[in-house]
Amino acid sequence: MSKWKDLSGTDVSGVLLICVLLLGAAPKVGGITLPPGFSDTAVADVASPTALAFAPDGRLLIAAQPGRLWVYQNGVLSPTPALELTGICTNSERGLLGVAVHPGFAATPYVYLYYTARNAGSCVNRVSRFVWSEGNVLSDEFVLVDNMPSPNGNHNAGDLHFGKDGFLYI
């Protein structure tokens, strides 16, 4: 006969009580303590942010999963997005997932985005280059990499970074 079958209701209650007490003694999850010289400040209220990139002049580009690229500049979030992608998949972990600014942005004002596009009824991941224009507007999409499968909606990657060698890493 198993020991578990021999335990009376009182014995099981005692074990459960001990577990509850031990869990109650665990450290509380809450805010983190930042090291000296750091601060935690909300800069903008953007729904579902996924990635950030800084332009050389200090503008902060904020990618949001629903397909919007926002600009935060001089302490203010732009009232309209610099770009609003259409025809994209945003369910699960899909959507606008990555943003990078060309390392020579002043002379070559390109912004690169990684997003999940709807293509012939299926969802595929894509990396595109856009031209940055005055007034914080992106235009002239040029698709660099397309049709990366996204069959299950998760684990889509999306991180974009330029290396010291000037290459874009996906």
For the CA atoms of the chain, what is the radius of gyration?
Answer: 24
Residue 101 in any domain: the answer is yes
Query: Which pLDDT score, from 0 to 100, does residue 155 have?
Result: 86
For the record, the structure tokens of 62 come out as 């904020």
Residue 6 in any domain: the answer is no
Residue 163 in any domain: the answer is yes
* pLDDT tens, residue order, the chain (170 aa): 444 444 455 454 555 445 445 555 555 556 788 899 998 888 788 999 999 999 999 999 999 999 999 999 999 999 999 999 999 999 999 999 999 999 999 999 999 999 999 988 899 999 999 999 988 999 999 999 999 989 888 888 899 999 999 999 99
Query: Which pLDDT score, from 0 to 100, does residue 111 have?
Result: 98
- Domain with 117 in it: what CATH number? 2.120.10.30
42/81 Cα distance (integer angstroms): 18
Query: Which pLDDT score, from 0 to 100, does residue 27 have?
Result: 53
**Global pTM?**
0.78
Residue 85 in any domain: the answer is yes
Residue 134 in any domain: the answer is yes
Residue 103 in any domain: the answer is yes
Residue 31 in any domain: the answer is no
Nearest to 90 by CA among 153, 33, 31: 153
Query: Which pLDDT score, from 0 to 100, does residue 4 have?
Result: 47
Q: Count up the domains in the chain and report the number.
A: 1
Residue 104 in any domain: the answer is yes
Give residue 106's domain range. Answer: 49-169
Query: Which pLDDT score, from 0 to 100, does residue 95 have?
Result: 96
43/35 Cα distance (integer angstroms): 19
